[in-house]
Structure 1
Amino acid sequence: MNSAIVESFAQMVREKNVDKDVLAGIIEEIFGVMVKKKYGQEANFDVIANMDKGDIEIFLERTIVDEVEDPETEISIAEVEKKGNEEELEVGDDYVEKLELSSFGRRLINLARQNLNQRIREIEKELVYNEYSEMVGEIIVGDIYQVRRNDILVNHNRHELLLPRSEQIPRERYRKGDTIRAVIKEVKQTPNGPVIIISRSDNLFLRKLFEIEIPEIYDGIIEIKRIAREPSERAKIAVESQDPRIDAVGACVGMKGVRIHAIVRELNNENIDVINYSDDPIVLIQRSLAPAKLKQIELDETEKRCNVLADSDQVSLIVGRNGVNIRLAMKLTGYEIDVIREEKPYEE
C-alpha cells in the first residue's frame, strides 16, 4: 500500500515538475497530521518519505510506564509485552513502534491524498507564477486554443496565457490553432491561481521585436531611446548609435528594408518611422514630423509646448491621416504641438 501511494505522488512530481525534496516534505507534514489525529497532538513521531524507494515510514515513540496516565506519550509495559518485547525493554525506556499505513483506515488515507492534491496544486500555481514573473518583458510563441469575445486564450508550454482585447492589435484577426507571438506584460496572483497577461499592442512588444530582428540593438551598439505607437496604425521609434561608424536608422531599416519589413509584417502591416534621436528638442520635433517641411519652431520648455509654423500644403503631412502623425510626434517628444498655417502668396 505504501509504494502505491508514493508512486501516485511521484507521478504528480513528473507531471507537475515539483521538486522531490519539496514533495517529500509535504508528505511528511500531511502524514504527521494524520498521526496527530489518531494518537493526539502531543504524540512524538517521525515520518520518513523515501521518494526513490517509493516508501513512507512512520515511527511513533512513547515512554514505557506501569500505568498509562497520558496515552499520547506513554504506553504500558503490559502492552509492550503483547506486541512482543524483543529488545527486552523496561519501564522508563522509550518504545519505538513502526506504524502501518493500513492502521489509519481508508478515511484518513483518502483525506491525506486530498490534502496532498491541494498542496500540489498550490505549489504548481506558485511555480507557474515564479516562472512567468521572471519572463516579464520577454517574447513568447504560443498556440491560440480559444477565441472569446473579450480575450484570447493562448497555450504556452501547457500553461494558459491571456491576451485581452485591450492588448490586441486592432483589426487583427485571430483563429484557433494559429501560432502567435506576444510579450509577457504582467503576471497577477489571484485566488484561482496566476493570470499571465500577454500583449501585442504594448510598446514593449515593438521594442523586443527590434531587439530580435536587429543584432546591433540586442548587442547595445544601437539604443532605442523613445517609442510612440498607435497599434495597427503607425509607430515612431527614436534610435541612437553608440558607434559613430554605424548609421542607426540604416541598421534598423536594413538592406532594401528587409529588417523593418519583418517587424511590419509581424505587426499586421503597421507603418513604422525610424528616426535619429537628438537631445535637442527642436531637432527631435523636426525629425518626428518628417517628411513635412517646417519653417519655424517656437519652443516653451517650461510648459512643454511648441508652435510649429509651416506652409499650408505641409499641414496635412504634419497632422497625418486622422491626426495620427502629430499625436505620435507629441508622444515621442513629450511636447504639445500646435500647428500654425501660413498661406503661400498667390502667384499670377
Structure 2
Amino acid sequence: MPSIQCRLWRLALRLVRRKQRFASAQALHEEIRRRRKTGRAAPSPRFLARHEVSVEPVAGVEVYTVRPRGIDSGRRILYLHGGGYVFDIVSQHWDFIGKLVDGLGATVIVPIYPLAPEHTHREVFAGLLPLYDQLVQSRPPASLTVMGDSAGGGMALALAQLARDSGRPLPGRLVLLSPFLDASGDNPGIDALEPLDPMLSKPGGIECGRVYAGGDPITLPQVSPIHGGLQGLPPVTLFIGTHDILLPDCRAFRALAQQQGLPLRYYEAEGMFHVWMLLPMPESELAFAQIIAAVEADEGAQRHPPGLAPRPVQADSVARAGE
C-alpha cells in the first residue's frame, strides 16, 4: 500500500491541477510562458553551505559542478534535469543532486541546457557533447555515470548513443529515472494510463517532443532515443512507476534491451507516478537506495542497504517497490 506521504503528494498534484498543464498544446505553451517569468531554481543557501559549488560556461552552456566537502569517492555523475525539454531546473532537482553528492561522495555536473521551443535538440547537444568530451578526457570514462530524470533521462540515453555512434569513449553506466524515451506518443498502452497519471498527459508530451525536434522527424534518436539502437551501450538502470504514462515506452525499451543484448536493471514501482524518486516520501528513499546501489554495482562495491542490493538481471526482470 502506498505510504501516507505518497497519497498526500498524489492528492496535492491533483489539487494544483498539475496534469492540466499537459492537457493540450495550448495549455503547455501557457505554462511555458508562466515559467519563463519565474525563471529557474538556484541552489539554496543550505545547499551551498553543505557542498562545494562552482559554475562555468562550457560551449555556451552554464554548467554547475557540485562536489562533496568531505571525502570524494572519485565518482562523477553528469546529471540532466527533467522538464519536458521546455522547463527549467526546479528545487526538487537540487535536493536530489545534493543527496547524490552526499550518498556517493560523488561530483555531480549539472548543465543548464537551452530549452525548447526557443531552442531544439541541435543546440542542446551542441553544448552537451563538448562538456561530455571534457568529462571523459579528464578522468577514466568508467568513473562517469550519466543520469537524468524524465526528459533528462531521454537526453542521457541519446547522449550515450551519440557518443557510441561517433566513436567517443562511453560512460560507465546510465541511470534513467522515469525517462521520456519516445516523443511520438504512439504506444497504444498510453491511453489506458491517462486516468491514473496525476502529472502527465499525452497531448502536452507530444507537443514537448514536437518543439524540441524543431522540424526534424519526431523519431530522430536525439528526440526519441528508443529508436536509436541499444547495441554497444553501457549498462542501464531504469526506474518507472506503474501510474506513469511513460510506462508503456519503458516496457518497450525493456523488450528491446533483451533483444539487443543491453545489460539492464529494470525497476517498475507499483502505484508510483512520474519522477516520484525526487519527492520526500518512503518510496523515494527505497528508490534512492537502489540508485546508489546501481551506481556502485558495476564497480563491485558492497555498500548496499540490507535487502536492497539489485542483482544483475536480465532485461525482462521487474523489481517492485518494497522488495
Q: TM-score scaled by structure 1?
A: 0.20
More strand by share: 1
- For CA contacts below 8 A with separation 6 or more, give which structure has more relative contact order: 2
Scaled by the length of structure 2, the TM-score of the pair is: 0.21
Larger Rg: 1
